[in-house]
């Protein structure tokens, strides 16, 4: 029994829920990776069927020069399936894009280090995740004993070709928004002057 069906929220397979889960990726397109990239990582995989770049945004843990992420929906997640088909990925944090190889963490010592790292960095999310797969979040021994339920990936640098990173293709919105705001302010002042 995998306990994946016990997650607290339904898997965002389509419709509005999928859109909601994908909407935070717009921060990269707006050029805000320097702000949000300290907490979140944008992972680009190759689509296992389409062969096209596919992206997911999730929290990450930097630990001893490595980057770790939790795949909360386990084997149900499309990005998990894509990584299993081709582990070459591109990750983007505040430091920019890097070519990586994804590996599922299975060694007890590494799992313990990741547990304690996430406990310091993002404990509410880790607690939710462990509870959702039937693991006592306060017991690291229970976590290690039930490691087959845990989907944690480590990303290691590679020289192999990986999918293209997400471009900041919406940066143009900032100057347009600024000019629009200035024009609105100017228009309001002109209207007030004409009324007096």
| Domains of the chain with CATH codes | 4-169 (2.30.110.10)
Interacting residues of 153 by C-beta distance below 8 A, sequence separation 6+: 68, 69, 71, 83, 102, 103, 104, 105
Strand residue runs (E) in the chain: 40-46, 53-59, 61-63, 66-70, 88-93, 96-104, 152-157
Question: What is the pTM for the complete model shown?
Answer: 0.78
Could you state, in chain order, the average pLDDT of each consecutive group of 10 residues for the chain (196 residues)? 46 58 73 86 95 93 94 90 97 95 96 94 88 92 94 96 90 85 88 81
Residue 51 region by backbone torsions, left for phi larger than 0, else alpha for psi between -120 and 50, else beta: left
């Amino acid at each position: 029994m995998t306990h994946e069906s016990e997650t607290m929220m339904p898997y965002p397979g389509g419709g509005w829920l999928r859109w909601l889960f994908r909407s935070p990726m717009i921060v990269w397109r707006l050029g805000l990776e320097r702000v949000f990239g300290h907490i979140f990582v944008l992972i680009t995989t190759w689509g296992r069927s389409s062969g096209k770049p596919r992206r997911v945004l999730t929290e990450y843990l930097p630990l001893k020069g490595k980057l770790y992420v939790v795949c909360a929906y386990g084997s149900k997640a499309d990005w998990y399936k894509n990584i299993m088909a081709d582990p070459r990925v591109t990750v983007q944090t505040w430091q920019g894009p890097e070519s990586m190889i994804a590996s599922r963490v299975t060694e007890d010592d590494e799992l313990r280090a990741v547990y304690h790292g996430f406990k310091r960095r993002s404990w509410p999310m880790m607690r939710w995740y462990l509870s959702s797969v039937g693991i006592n979040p306060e017991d690291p021994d229970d976590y290690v004993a039930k490691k087959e339920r845990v989907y944690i990936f480590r990303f290691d640098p590679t020289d192999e070709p990986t999918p293209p990173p997400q471009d900041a293709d919406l940066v143009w919105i900032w100057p347009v928004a600024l000019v629009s705001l200035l024009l609105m302010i100017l228009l309001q002042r002109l209207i007030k002057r004409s009324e007096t």
